[in-house]
Structure 1
């Protein structure tokens, strides 16, 4: 069921409630017409009856029509309303037998206004106006108690059951719509992550291919030309070799610049520490959460894939903090060790149960780090924050 269908169902329910609230006016109007067109007991008597009718109309209009939210919720007010309804109905019945037409409405209004078992007590009490009519015979009252009252109670019970089922279905459908919307959002997020990961991996693959073929080949050419230049005698040949060496070295620089251009996002024009600082600053502005970056050890260039993995780990950890942790502070630590590069991300959020399987992002991060012979460790506890530690071997930039 879509949200449009839900809105339609709610509007239809409101229309039915309004119909239940206004129906007594129709029967009261019919009873008035029968009473005033019949044998007239005199004008003063009719004016008195009309005054009671006006009071009843206002009484019902205030408690039921004007305040539908009070139905079955404001118990005390509804008991006062129903007692007044029975009293006014009894007065009208005592003045004219035509108003006995209105008594069945009291059965209905007992279930409309009174909650729980009070509604069934209200149905029994709805027989009291019969006693106010001088023309009511004991047989008629007994018939009402034995037949009409149980029948009204049974119908009311059935209607309430259908209402509860309708409410339960509407709530279930609302939950299903919310879950479907969340799943659609997650699906879109997964598609974006997959697209981004695919582009990043393709760029990284191209960078590796260029590094392992063209760059390495040009490095060998430069080395060979340097040796040839050393072995050559002065003259035009040596000058030509020198020009070729400079051309090869310039081409090597351009190839390395192209490799750097294939590095993702903040790493395009910056080292890892600077890229992390840019990423953290953007995240801090977006989520308005205090965050800091600390770099320990001696920073040195690492292999492009290592730096990309560290950056992606920071982005994934920060994304999880922003979406789930409800943290007030996040601290990142980038540590350069002799043979390791370690990223630690700690927050003071609500934490979570680490025995449960993580989401897609964390799973993808573990796979990525594992391909580089690294490790990912997650420590967390309820209301004690979360710590994510990513360790990777320090592979040099020129490896």
Structure 2
């Protein structure tokens, strides 16, 4: 960005220098010429007085031109001012040829005219200049008329085309410079704005990342520690009921100990964002089989697991999400449903995979309708482009259905 600013500053300084030159050149040629003419002896005092008066009038006319607003956008006003300067310079050249130098400055002065008047201004200046230097064709008895006319017209034409074309090209280049400067300024402003937006987006992304990680950890804690602790409490309560009979209490204590160890392992895996242990060395159908087996042992109701369709090795994210949905649904059945029959169905159906967990329990009622577990299931499945539907009627059981895209491991 600094490089762009340096180029823009250079172009701006160049424009200032050229504008300054256009403003100073007429004065640098008018005043010295007038001083030289007035310093020379004159046949009559009236000649010097006329030169001084014309010089003062020309200076005042130039100052008036600087004071008039917006000449470049007013062709008539700019043309009248230039015509006045040309008339005054012609009058000065009539008094002394030294003022030819001031008339040369009008070529540069024509550059400030509107584009459609540049060639007219250059042509008028060339006619006035070469008429004063050569004389009008036919006024010099020593030169043949045709020769004088040819030289007069040729010089004026060449001068007009050369100087006028150069001034037009310079004006066009200056305009392009101004447009480039404006474009660079706009680009720099856009870059600064984009830098601000980029910083804002980074902040938002960082905050979103923190929020996502918090939600992930909340889901993992719910799906591992909370469910594991629920199972442990259930087994210890069962052991307490038969505490007087060690042989009957021991299996419950052993299962509670096993659940505690598994929960600790799963908690460590969750912190490291690893897959659940059941999916570490097997695919989803086998993991669901192990999940339903253990759940049946802990709750006394063995779920019916049914896998249909042609099995596909799904991406880890999809398998983890479906496994956690099944885990959460079964936990809810154990805690709230009081069901006597539970069914888990995994269906591979072309482009999608469907998971259904159904029970014949009491259904979802009251505060259970808006629990964290249900929200966690929906968030997980939405995160992989799927949907979750929950159907429940009081006394008629609950059905949890998750549909996700069948993205294979290779595609993932």
| TM bracket (short chain) | 0.5 to 0.7
1:313-370 CA-to-partner distances (Å, cap 9, x unmatched) read xxxxxxxxxxxxxxxxxxxxxxxxxxxxxxxxxxxxxxxxxxxxxxxxxxxxxx9945
Deviation at 1:78, TM superposition (A): 0.8
One of 5, 8, 32 as aligned partner of 1:6: 8
Correspondence for 1:87: 87
Correspondence for 1:115: 114
1:69-111 CA-to-partner distances (Å, cap 9, x unmatched) read 7253232221121121112212222222221221111222112
Unmatched 5+ stretches in structure 2: 138-147, 245-366, 393-399, 401-412
Correspondence for 2:174: 163
Deviation at 1:4, TM superposition (A): 5.1
RMSD: 4.2
CA 1:368 to 1:57, structure 2 compared with 1: closer, same or farther past 3 Å?
farther
CA 1:41 to 1:300, structure 2 compared with 1: closer, same or farther past 3 Å?
farther
Correspondence for 1:136: 135
Correspondence for 1:75: 75
Correspondence for 2:21: 19
Task: Please say which structure displays the higher CA radius of gyration.
Answer: 2
How far apart are the structure 1 equivalents of 2:79 and 2:381? Answer: 68
CA 1:372 to 1:27, structure 2 compared with 1: closer, same or farther past 3 Å?
same
Secondary structure of the 2:370 match is coil
Secondary structure of the 1:40 match is coil
CA 1:308 to 1:124, structure 2 compared with 1: closer, same or farther past 3 Å?
farther
Of 80-89 and 190-199, the range deviating more from structure 2: 190-199
Deviation at 1:307, TM superposition (A): 8.5
CA 1:191 to 1:24, structure 2 compared with 1: closer, same or farther past 3 Å?
same
How far apart are the structure 1 equivalents of 2:196 and 2:33? Answer: 59
CA 1:229 to 1:185, structure 2 compared with 1: closer, same or farther past 3 Å?
same
Matches within 5 A, 1:249-398: 301=370, 303=372, 306=375, 369=382, 371=384, 373-374=386-387
How far apart are the structure 1 equivalents of 2:33 and 2:374? Answer: 88
Correspondence for 1:106: 106
Deviation at 1:165, TM superposition (A): 3.4
Deviation at 1:225, TM superposition (A): 3.1
How far apart are the structure 2 equivalents of 1:48 and 1:217? Answer: 114
How far apart are the structure 2 equivalents of 1:83 and 1:368? Answer: 82
Correspondence for 2:203: 192
Unmatched 5+ stretches in structure 1: 234-297, 311-366, 375-391
Contact 1:27 1:102 in 2 (8 A): yes
CA 1:305 to 1:126, structure 2 compared with 1: closer, same or farther past 3 Å?
farther
One of 2, 15, 30 as aligned partner of 1:28: 30
How far apart are the structure 2 equivalents of 1:146 and 1:196? Answer: 73
Correspondence for 2:265: none
Secondary structure of the 1:2 match is helix
Deviation at 1:15, TM superposition (A): 2.9
Deviation at 1:114, TM superposition (A): 1.4
Contact 2:110 2:122 in 1 (8 A): yes
Of 32-41 and 18-27, the range deviating more from structure 2: 32-41
CA 1:193 to 1:39, structure 2 compared with 1: closer, same or farther past 3 Å?
same
Deviation at 1:372, TM superposition (A): 5.8
How far apart are the structure 1 equivalents of 2:102 and 2:378? Answer: 79
Contact 2:126 2:156 in 1 (8 A): yes
Matches within 5 A, 1:218-237: 218-232=229-243
Deviation at 1:195, TM superposition (A): 2.1
CA 1:147 to 1:40, structure 2 compared with 1: closer, same or farther past 3 Å?
farther
Q: TM-score, normalised by structure 2?
A: 0.53
CA 1:173 to 1:395, structure 2 compared with 1: closer, same or farther past 3 Å?
farther
CA 1:96 to 1:201, structure 2 compared with 1: closer, same or farther past 3 Å?
same
CA 1:176 to 1:309, structure 2 compared with 1: closer, same or farther past 3 Å?
farther
Contact 1:130 1:136 in 2 (8 A): no
- Residue 151 (1) aligns with residue 162 (2): yes
How far apart are the structure 2 equivalents of 1:11 and 1:368? Answer: 63
Contact 1:306 1:395 in 2 (8 A): no
Contact 1:106 1:126 in 2 (8 A): yes
Correspondence for 2:124: 125
